[in-house]
Structure 1
Amino acid sequence: MEMKIITDYLLQPSEAALWWLGQAGYILKSGGKIIVIDPYLSDSASGGVAGFSRAFAAPLLPESLNADVYIITHDHLDHLDPVTIRAYPRKTETWFIAPRLAAKKLPGLGVPEERILVVNAGESVTVDSVTVTGVFALPTGKDVIDTTGYLIEFSNGRTVYHTSDTQFHPLVLDAAPSKPDVMLVPINGKWKNTNAEEAVLFAKAVSPGYVMPNHYDLMPLNAENPEVFEWFCHHHRLLSKPVIPKHFKPFTWDI
């Protein structure tokens, strides 16, 4: 896939679109603005272990990535990818948003300090007409205690809630935003992350228009079958529409 496909992708004023990059990485577009979240475009997290190596090639070269806002949810290599960030060419033009500890890693990867915005849970910032609000997530390890989900709201009112990696807990449900257009939630169920059934119960509490599973596709030892997620959607009579996205294909929605 070429970034030009996204930059040239036409949307109506009230529409938004997203492209799934694999794992928990996305590109969002609406109102003429492009947002990237946790793009993992290398194999840096594999550590030489076959079971954690990429199951498919990265859809983009980091050098071709182009965004107005670059969001990082926490400092794990498949979310804050140093290879991708070092190679990203528009560091002086892009706003980088991350929680407090993850943000400290960015200057060492070549991101100018004046382009870094620290947004923790409960905080909001508006840049380039896009409002980004930090949402509480329960960290999956002591090494990422600042893990933060994010609610992205475009100028036309389209909203996306990226939960980040998180444990399933009543406080996470209570802190989550209500009725976003789209909810992006992990289903791998390993290393304390939400599993397929928990993701559905999470979505029931949030009531998004659409719910999309992630974090199940890229690494053989960290995988899940999305059909399990779909089964639990039916089992728990989820009113939100489940969408199993296709890699690098646009999903477009309106009001």
Structure 2
Amino acid sequence: MSKINITTKFIKNLELFIENKSFPSDEVHFTWIGQAGFMFKFKDKLLIIDPYLSDYLSKKYKGKLFPHTRLMEIPISPHKISTVDYTLCSHAHTDHMDPETISILGDNNPKLKFIVPAAEIEESIKRGIKIHQLLKANDGKVLILESGIKITGVAAAHEKLKVNEIGEHHFLGYVLDFDGLKIYHSGDCIPYDGLIAKLKELDIDLALLPINGRDEYRLKNNIEGNFLISEVIDICKSAKIENLIVHHFDMFAYNTVTKEELEDLRVTSSTQLQIIIPEIYIIYKIKKK
């Protein structure tokens, strides 16, 4: 049986979520903001991971084979976010480290710290992050951010593991530990040897995993892939993770899953593995039992 309770409620405006300072201290509240992006509130802190809150890619790839036209509205403008404490980027692909999002967040939030893979420090500066705002993450490295909030880097294989000459990873996932309540965001990832053992040791309460899959056609066109739907289920079961929220769908037509696949996934949810298909403007509340 799951060690946490997850409840939901609708909110019409994410500014209301950001501005709310009255959440109980033993609860984590979070919302999906599209693709791999999530916003978390814990106590009085706001954390964001992999925000893609612009239309940068549709402009960059207009007229190309994969035009990157957004299928989903931008749920909140980065200009309206002025109280974020930490922003995490799992890697340097633009839907995870978007220059038109992170540069605005950095300018509007002078105390903001960005947590990025150590191998991508130079690239993050090129995207608009100021060097004094940066914290380096790496596989196995623990960052204590606040009392009750720490982040652990977990290597990610975006088709493959990628490490620079001094052992710093380019692709990471993160375990967000809120007073012992542990949420694993894999970043963009596929299965690799040792991943399940890492996750078992970390004792994850909730996994946030991408499901847009992979194939040779996309890879040949430089679109690195992610877990298959069957793989995220297998990983959770093998790593004893009892709660799963999927993501990385319904943003780009060439790189998503079908409504039928989502419905099939929804009906496989059980007491052994609760599976949630996230929606924009839904707030998820999690609390230890």
Instruction: Flag whether TM exceeds 0.5 (same fold).
Output: yes
Q: Which moves more between the two structures, 107-116 or 13-22?
A: 107-116
Alignment of 1:33 with 2:45, yes or no, is yes
Q: Which residue of 2 aligns with 1:126?
A: 144
Q: Could you say if the C-alpha distance between residues 205 and 238 of structure 1 is closer, same or farther in structure 2, counting changes exceeding 3 Å?
A: farther
Alignment of 1:137 with 2:170, yes or no, is no
Deviation at 1:102, TM superposition (A): 2.2
Mapping of residues 181-192 of structure 1, within 5 Å: 181-190=205-214, 191-192=224-225
Q: Which residue of 2 aligns with 1:77?
A: 94
CA distance in 1 between counterparts of 2:244 and 2:67 reads: 27
CA distance in 2 between counterparts of 1:58 and 1:232 reads: 25
DSSP 3-state at the match of 1:247: coil
Deviation at 1:105, TM superposition (A): 2.0
CA distance in 1 between counterparts of 2:155 and 2:44 reads: 28
From 60, 71, 84, give the equivalent of 1:55: 71
Q: Which moves more between the two structures, 174-183 or 59-68?
A: 174-183
The answer on whether the counterparts of 2:31 and 2:282 sit within 8 Å (CA) in structure 1 is yes
Q: Which residue of 2 aligns with 1:157?
A: 180
Q: Which residue of 2 aligns with 1:171?
A: 194
Quick one: which amino acid aligns to residue 73 of structure 2?
A
TM-score, normalised to structure 2's length? Answer: 0.79
Q: Which moves more between the two structures, 165-174 or 142-151?
A: 142-151
From 8, 25, 30, give the equivalent of 1:13: 25
DSSP 3-state at the match of 2:56: coil
- Asked which structure has the greater RCO (Cα within 8 Å, sep 6+), the reply is 2
Mapping of residues 72-111 of structure 1, within 5 Å: 72-88=89-105, 89-111=107-129
DSSP 3-state at the match of 2:40: strand
Please tell me whether Structure 1 or Structure 2 has the larger radius of gyration of its CA atoms.
2
Quick one: which amino acid aligns to residue 85 of structure 2?
D
Quick one: which amino acid aligns to residue 150 of structure 1?
Y
What residue ranges of structure 2 are gaps of 5+ in the alignment?
1-12, 164-168, 215-223
What residue ranges of structure 1 are gaps of 5+ in the alignment?
none
From 107, 131, 134, give the equivalent of 1:116: 134
CA distance in 1 between counterparts of 2:91 and 2:29 reads: 24
Q: Could you say if the C-alpha distance between residues 128 and 236 of structure 1 is closer, same or farther in structure 2, counting changes exceeding 3 Å?
A: closer
Quick one: which amino acid aligns to residue 241 of structure 1?
Q
TM-score, normalised to structure 1's length? Answer: 0.89
Q: How many residues align?
A: 254
Q: Which residue of 1 aligns with 2:80?
A: 64
RMSD: 2.5
Question: Moved runs in structure 1, 4+ residues, more than 4 A?
Answer: 141-145, 232-238
Q: Could you say if the C-alpha distance between residues 210 and 44 of structure 1 is closer, same or farther in structure 2, counting changes exceeding 3 Å?
A: same
Q: Which moves more between the two structures, 227-236 or 57-66?
A: 227-236
The answer on whether the counterparts of 2:151 and 2:175 sit within 8 Å (CA) in structure 1 is yes
Q: Could you say if the C-alpha distance between residues 221 and 238 of structure 1 is closer, same or farther in structure 2, counting changes exceeding 3 Å?
A: farther
Quick one: which amino acid aligns to residue 287 of structure 2?
D
